[in-house]
Amino acid sequence: MARYGAQFGPDITFLGVDAADLDELETYQDADVVILGAPFDGGTSYRSGARFGPKALRETCYLAHDGSRPSLAMRVDGLQDLRVVDVGDVEMYSGDAARSCADLEAAVEKVAATGAIPLILGGDHTVTWPDVTGVARGGDRWGRVSVIHFDAHADTGDIEFGSLIGHGQPMRRLIESGAARGDRFLQIGLRGYWPPPDILEWMAQQRMRSFEMTEIVSRGLEECLTEAFEIALDDCDGIFLSVDIDVCDPGHAPGTGTPEPGGLSARQLLDAVRRICYELPVLGMDVVEVSPPYDHADITALLGNRVVLEALTAMARRRKDARDGTTWDPRRPLLDR
């Protein structure tokens, strides 16, 4: 049985939200969002260190860790207006990827079964395979979870370094298993020199939709997101949002395992995450590939922390507007929102 709690560093929660125990249902059964850490980097192919990502994402902020973050832009507090709890880290041993992924999947499934949104702090991108699988199983949504995937890399490899499990393969494992559909898999920010033609052919056969950076630059990110949203909500119950921090240019996110020049800016990523979590029903989310040993001045950890906060804030505003019959408009003057 997996053990929960801090795996590396002090036993802290995300910015001071309430702690919960995954083995005690009463501590989180009424939660809207349950945060789990997935400190695993046994699937990395270049630079490791993402096992320390959950700790950095929880603690990197210059404000008090008091479980409160009122948003200047959206005028809600994602940590207070939602019931957010943190169950700590799933114990994941980088030397046994299969066991680690199975334990994480079981934990995510347990959370999803309560109706709460699992929000997983990675870890390398291997963890998205058990993350989405757990959401699909726990919510009885097998094949009905659309995936919106921000990344420089497609992560659709088959066998890498002699293994079916790794951070370059989770999306193929998800589609092959049927947990997620290829034609409801939206990738944003791809660029660079991988994958090779045979993998691109497999992706085309699955009818995946991948927005490469030159298309995003040419058409504009907003237009690409609008297209992605139309596809995502067709015959699916909601979306799983997976954010690999290397979707951003290394100048905005240097602390990551496989940096690729020419990506999104930090501002573009935050705005995109905000829009997704405000406009779409989110069933689960992960933020992955923050590698503190390669970070400097906490640039990447700060961005990852804010990606989580933007998501929670937008979810809270979505709920408020649904209740009040209002609509948040970023074009309105700040004090009129």
- Find tokens 């069933």 and name the residue: 283
211 confidence band (pLDDT: 50, 70, 90): very high
pLDDT above 50 (res 1): no
Lowest model confidence (mean pLDDT) among 45-49, 186-190, 215-219, 245-249: 45-49
Q: For position 148, what pLDDT does the model report?
A: 98
Residues in the chain: 337
Considering only CA atoms, which of 243, 232, 203 is closest in space to residue 144?
Answer: 232
Confidence of residue 94 (pLDDT cuts 50, 70, 90): confident
Residues 134, 120: Cα–Cα separation, whole Å: 11
- Residue 123 CA to residue 101 CA, distance in Å, equals 11
Quick one: pLDDT at residue 271? 98
Task: Give the confidence band of 57 by pLDDT, cuts at 50, 70, 90.
Answer: very high
Q: Which residue segment(s) compose the domain that 144 sits in?
A: 4-336
Report strand pairing: 4-5 vs 84-90: antiparallel
Q: Which of 283, 270, 259, 261 is nearest to 108 (CA)?
A: 283
- Residue 4's pLDDT is 67
- The average confidence (pLDDT) of the chain is 95
**Contact assessment for residue 154 and residue 195, using Cβ atoms and an 8 Å cutoff:** yes
Give the CA count within 13 Å in the CB-facing half-sphere of 327.
Answer: 4
Place of tokens 């929000």: 119
Indicate the pLDDT class of residue 9, thresholds 50, 70 and 90.
confident
Per the structure, how many domains does the chain have? 1
CA–CA distance, 157 with 198 (Å, rounded to integer): 10
pLDDT digits (tens, 9 = 90+) for 115-138: 999 999 999 999 999 999 999 999
**H helix or E strand, kind and range, residue 132:** helix 128-138
Q: What is the mean pLDDT of residues 97-120?
A: 97
Does pLDDT of 3 surpass 70?
no
Element (H, E) at 135: helix 128-138
**What residues are paired with 119 via a beta bridge?**
35, 285
What is the domain-level CATH number for residue 298?
Answer: 3.40.800.10
Phi/psi class of residue 241: alpha, beta or left (left: φ > 0; alpha: ψ in -120 to 50)? beta
Q: Is the pLDDT of residue 160 over 80?
A: no
Crossing angle of helices 266-279 and 299-324, rounded to 10° = 30
Whether residue 16 has pLDDT greater than 50: yes
Directed axis angle between helix 128-138 and helix 97-112, to 10°? 30
Neighbours of 84 (CB within 10 A): 28
Using the structure block, give the residue that is written with the tokens 């921090």: 245
Q: Say whether pLDDT at 311 is over 60.
A: yes
What are the pLDDT digits (tens) for 227-276?
Answer: 999 999 999 999 999 999 999 999 999 999 999 999 999 999 999 999 99
